Amino acid sequence: MTTSIDTATPGVATEPTPQPTLDTLDEAHLASQSRDTGEPSWMADRRQQALSTWSGQSWPDRKKDEFWRNTPFARLVDVGRPLITGADHDGDHTVELAVGVVDHLDAPAATVTIVDGDLLDVRVDQSWADQGLVVVGLRDAAAGPWAGIVSEHLGSLTTTGHGSGADEDRTISANDAAWDAGVFVYVPAELEVKAPIGIQAHVTRPGVHQPRILVKAEHHATARVVLEHVGGDLGDVERTSRVKAPAVVNEVVEVIARDSAQVDVVSVNEHGDDVAYLALQKAAVHRDATVRHLSVTLGGATVRIRPEADLVGPGASAVYSGIYFTDEGQHFDVQPYMRHLAGHTTSNVLYKGALQGDSRTVFRGNVFIHKDAKGSDTQEDNRNLILTKGARADSTPFLEIECADITAGHGSATGQIDARNLFYLQARGIERADALRLIVLGFFNEVLDRIDMPVVAARAQAAIEGEIAMTDLDRVTVSEVAPNTPD
Amino acid sequence: MAELEIRDLTIRVDGSDILNGVTLDLEKGKTLALMGPNGSGKSTLAYAIAGHPAYEITGGQILFNGEDIADWTPDERNRAGVFLAMQYPVEVPGVSLTNFLRTAVNARLDEDKPVREFMGDLRTAMSDLQIDESFLQRSVNEGFSGGEKKRFEILQMALLKPQIAVLDETDSGLDVDALRVVSEGIDSLRGPDLGVLVITHYTRILRYVTPDEVHVMLDGRIVASGGPELADELEDHGYEHYVVSA
């Protein structure tokens, strides 16, 4: 099922010079873009500041930057691609848009559709809007009554603050400087928006896409954001190298959860094979607030996702989980980062991945516990299931603890399907292929059970089944078969 | 002809010969007890019948309804009607008990039973075995106590309706109440369409599930066979008698 939409975008000025690439950002271009889109001067200034940061940086180098050690940026990310712009749509150009989770949300509070850097459609349910929910383009927000809030928080987690915030790499300054489609979500104090807010970003053309999302939930507010990435099967687009995807999606999401707020972020990535996806999805979690983040990573040639939480208020908590499933040629790098910066903060991190074919996953689970974060509690686990020979999973928990009075646990395991499980199911008449399917789905269920969004869980499950269906089950290797009893 | 015929079977595990020529017949309607001390090869016979890949047939035959099943996969054996209740049932994380049972029942009966009918059968079988309905929300064997695992094995036996059931130390680890529930469950399933091989170290399960024949295994061989009275003899004298005479 697909939807046709008209992607004509009026009002964007023609470019006097060739569109810059991720590697050739320049002042004049950013200035004209800010002017053409009616951005307030403070926002234009922010972009210029970010550009100057960007100018002083070089691209990530796996030899120099520990966080990029297992993902060769230069080899996988095509920085020579031009920034995507609505200007090169012609007027009657229509594209088939993929359908995903967001299309199936039950009575969403709002939906946003982004296509190739353009904010095409923003809908907010009237009754939620009447109660104060704001879902609007980021530029509109910055130019309107929300300017103060946007100004206070946009970039607050990428350019200032704690941990890596102050020393982000060039992928982040590139987004700070040249983000395109922006979305602002604001939930006023004590408003519990339990209906989901769906944001769907489509890639239909090669080039550099830089979405930017800012979510603020005031004290005792509730928000549930489903952020979905789709599209990216671009057909015969020439590549500069076999492993460099012609579309690059470089995203930054900032979430501010004020005191006692409850924010869920579900990030579903079903990109096609022509996308390299880099994302920082970071939350500042204030006193007694909870942020739950779930990433479902299934698509894309290269993915590097950083789900992060700065636990800045006492009693703040983060529950971060994810699943990923690679097949032939995919490279996924998942790096959650939990920063315990106040007392009695808790984080619970659980990521599970399955791999098949010639593919690679990297998990680096970072936890930092500040010396003031007394009484904090962190638990971090990563499990990987290698289905066929040739796949490789690296898993590193990384704990930096300055405070003695805390509880910290972590676990990491990478293995094959357990032969005992397989025998048990087969001994009950279940064919090997069906048994393998049950075991793999079961493996992921522990994570999927954490989402109380049936639509998302069902979609994730269907996607996992799709991945399993692609697996040559005859090639699946299981752990060494040991006799069950000493008898 | 017996449904299950074991003919001069030799089995190798991890390079050692564990069974050294076992011959045994089990027909529907009969219950056999196979007794013996630890390490005598009882469980090896059970796993060999079920088709566990670590148990290599190096000689002899296992015939089911006259067919040599050596090349059959474990699932083919189960679908044909051979069931093994395991001594140590394994946990299968994340696979819900309901989903697992329904998949297994559909595979064994080769039909897609309507969910309502399946759930009805399941609830009845669970109530017979005094298994709480809350188990339906759990993953297969995950966090089950020893007794719960054994009950769950017999629950599967009830639903899968095998022709031949091999019960490997189903009584081990059960307290007297659990033993009674499990044994009564087994006993209620007995009938003209089911042959049962009860493998046990002790005689207590045989007080509930009276066998037609008792066979004694030692060092991978059957060293004595007789009626139910043989079990009582073993209760009184233990296995030492056979060790001495072997």
Q: HEC states along chain B? A: CCCEEEEEEEEEECCEEEEEEEEEEECCCCEEEEECCCCCCHHHHHHHHHCCCCEEEEEEEEEECCEECCCCCHHHHHHHCEEEECCCCCCEEEEEHHHHHHHHHHHHHCCCCCHHHHHHHHHHHHHHCCCCHHHHHCEECCCCCHHHHHHHHHHHHHHHCCCEEEEECCCCCCCHHHHHHHHHHHHHHCECCEEEEEEECCCHHHHCCCCCEEEEEECCEEEEEECCHHHHHHHHHCCHHHHHHC
Q: Please, are residues B158 and B129 in contact by the beta-carbon 8 Å criterion?
A: yes
Residue to mutate among A321, A323, A381, A424, with most B CBs inside 10 A, is: A424
Q: Please, are residues A223 and A252 in contact by the beta-carbon 8 Å criterion?
A: no
Q: Could you report the per-residue pLDDT of A57-76, keeping only the tens digit for each?
A: 999 999 988 899 999 999 99
> What residue of B is the nearest CA neighbor of A483?
B54
> What residue of A is the nearest CA neighbor of B79?
A429
Contact at CB, A486 and B55, closer than 8 angstroms:
no
CB atoms within 10 A of CB A352: 22
> What residue of B is the nearest CA neighbor of A433?
B75
Contact at CB, B94 and A443, closer than 8 angstroms:
yes
The encoded tokens of residue A209 equal 């896409």
Name the minimum distance, in Å, from the CA of B84 to any CA of chain A.
7
Q: Please, are residues A309 and A320 in contact by the beta-carbon 8 Å criterion?
A: yes
Q: Could you report the per-residue pLDDT of A100-141, keeping only the tens digit for each?
A: 889 999 999 999 999 999 999 999 999 999 999 999 999 999
Q: Write the Ramachandran bin of A164: left for phi over 0, alpha for psi from -120 to 50, otherwise beta.
A: alpha
Contact at CB, A487 and B40, closer than 8 angstroms:
yes
Residues of chain B contacting residue A421, judged by C-beta atoms under 8 Å apart: 90, 92
Closest Cα to residue A314, out of A254, A372, A401, A256?
A372
Facing A484 at nearest CB: one of B52, B77, B95: B52
Residues of chain B contacting residue A438, judged by C-beta atoms under 8 Å apart: 92, 95, 99-100, 103
Residues of chain A contacting residue B50, judged by C-beta atoms under 8 Å apart: 427
The encoded tokens of residue A466 equal 């799709």
Task: Print pLDDT tens along chain A (487 aa).
Answer: 344 444 444 445 554 568 899 999 999 999 999 999 999 999 999 999 999 999 999 999 999 888 999 999 999 999 999 999 764 555 545 677 888 889 999 999 999 999 999 999 999 999 999 999 999 999 999 998 999 999 999 999 998 766 555 578 999 999 999 999 999 999 999 999 999 999 999 999 999 999 999 999 999 999 999 999 999 999 888 899 999 999 999 999 999 999 999 999 999 999 999 999 999 999 999 999 999 999 999 999 999 999 999 999 999 999 999 999 999 999 999 999 999 999 999 999 999 999 999 999 999 999 999 999 999 999 999 999 999 999 999 999 999 999 989 999 999 999 999 999 999 999 999 999 999 999 999 999 999 888 888 888 898 889 898 888 888 778 888 887 776 554 4
Integer Rg of chain B from CA: 18
- Rounded to the nearest 10 degrees, the angle between the axes of helix A170-178 and helix A27-36 is 40
Q: Give the residue carrying structure tokens 């599967």.
A: B156
Alpha-carbon gap, residue B149 to B174, rounded angstroms: 10
Closest Cα to residue A316, out of A217, A195, A452, A383?
A217
The encoded tokens of residue B207 equal 């007080």
Facing B54 at nearest CB: one of A428, A438, A482: A482
In the prediction, which pLDDT does A453 show?
86
Supply φ then ψ for residue B105, to 5 degrees: -65, -45
Who contacts B244 (Cβ-Cβ below 8 Å, separation ≥6)? none
In the prediction, which pLDDT does B22 show?
96
Q: Which of residues 77-116 of B touch A (CB under 8 A)?
A: 77-79, 84, 86-90, 92-96, 99-100, 103-104, 107-108
Facing B42 at nearest CB: one of A419, A435, A487: A487
Indicate the average pLDDT of chain A: 91
Residues of chain A contacting residue B79, judged by C-beta atoms under 8 Å apart: 429
**Single pTM value for the model:** 0.90
Facing B92 at nearest CB: one of A425, A486, A487: A425
Q: Which of residues 214-253 of A touch B (CB under 8 A)?
A: none
CB burial of residue A251 (10 Å; 0-12, 13-18, 19+): buried
Percentage helix, strand, coil, to 5, in chain A?
Answer: 25, 35, 40
User: Strands, DSSP E only, in A387-438?
Assistant: 392-401, 407-415
> What residue of A is the nearest CA neighbor of B99?
A438
ipTM above 0.90, yes or no: yes
Facing A487 at nearest CB: one of B38, B52, B77: B38
Residues of chain B contacting residue A487, judged by C-beta atoms under 8 Å apart: 38-44
Contact at CB, B94 and A432, closer than 8 angstroms:
no
Task: Print pLDDT tens along chain B (246 aa).
Answer: 899 999 999 999 989 999 999 999 999 999 999 999 988 999 999 999 999 999 999 999 999 999 999 999 999 999 999 999 999 999 999 999 999 999 999 999 888 888 999 999 999 999 988 899 888 889 999 999 989 999 999 999 999 999 999 999 999 989 999 999 999 999 999 999 999 999 999 899 999 999 999 999 999 999 999 999 999 888 888 887 776 554
CB atoms within 10 A of CB A216: 25
CB atoms within 10 A of CB A473: 18
Contact at CB, A424 and B88, closer than 8 angstroms:
no
Q: Please, are residues A446 and B93 in contact by the beta-carbon 8 Å criterion?
A: yes
Name the minimum distance, in Å, from the CA of B74 to any CA of chain A.
5
Tell me if chain A has a CB within 8 Å of the CB of B163: no
Contact at CB, A429 and B107, closer than 8 angstroms:
yes
Q: Could you report the per-residue pLDDT of A144-176, keeping only the tens digit for each?
A: 899 999 999 999 999 876 655 557 899 999 999
Contact at CB, A442 and B93, closer than 8 angstroms:
yes
Q: Which of residues 173-202 of B touch A (CB under 8 A)?
A: none
Counted across chains A and B, CB pairs separated by less than 8 A come out at: 114
Name the minimum distance, in Å, from the CA of A352 to any CA of chain B.
12
Alpha-carbon gap, residue A274 to A203, rounded angstroms: 9
Transcribe A155-185 into DSSP letters.
TTTTTSSSGGGGG--HHHHHHHHH--SEEEE
Who contacts B240 (Cβ-Cβ below 8 Å, separation ≥6)? none
Closest Cα to residue A156, out of A63, A286, A8, A274?
A286
> What residue of B is the nearest CA neighbor of A421?
B92
Closest Cα to residue A72, out of A243, A322, A246?
A243
Residues of chain A contacting residue B90, judged by C-beta atoms under 8 Å apart: 418, 420-421, 423-424
Alpha-carbon gap, residue B197 to A223, rounded angstroms: 59
Alpha-carbon gap, residue B15 to B19, rounded angstroms: 12
Contact at CB, B14 and A483, closer than 8 angstroms:
yes
Closest Cα to residue A404, out of A369, A368, A378?
A369
Facing A439 at nearest CB: one of B92, B104, B160: B92
Query: How many angstroms separate the first and last alpha carbons of chain A?
Result: 57
Name the minimum distance, in Å, from the CA of A473 to any CA of chain B.
16
Residue to mutate among B16, B22, B73, B75, with most A CBs inside 10 A, is: B75
Q: Please, are residues A252 and A179 in contact by the beta-carbon 8 Å criterion?
A: yes
Residues of chain A contacting residue B39, judged by C-beta atoms under 8 Å apart: 486-487
Name the minimum distance, in Å, from the CA of B46 to any CA of chain A.
10
Closest Cα to residue A67, out of A141, A172, A197, A161?
A172
Facing B92 at nearest CB: one of A442, A486, A487: A442
Facing B75 at nearest CB: one of A421, A431, A442: A431
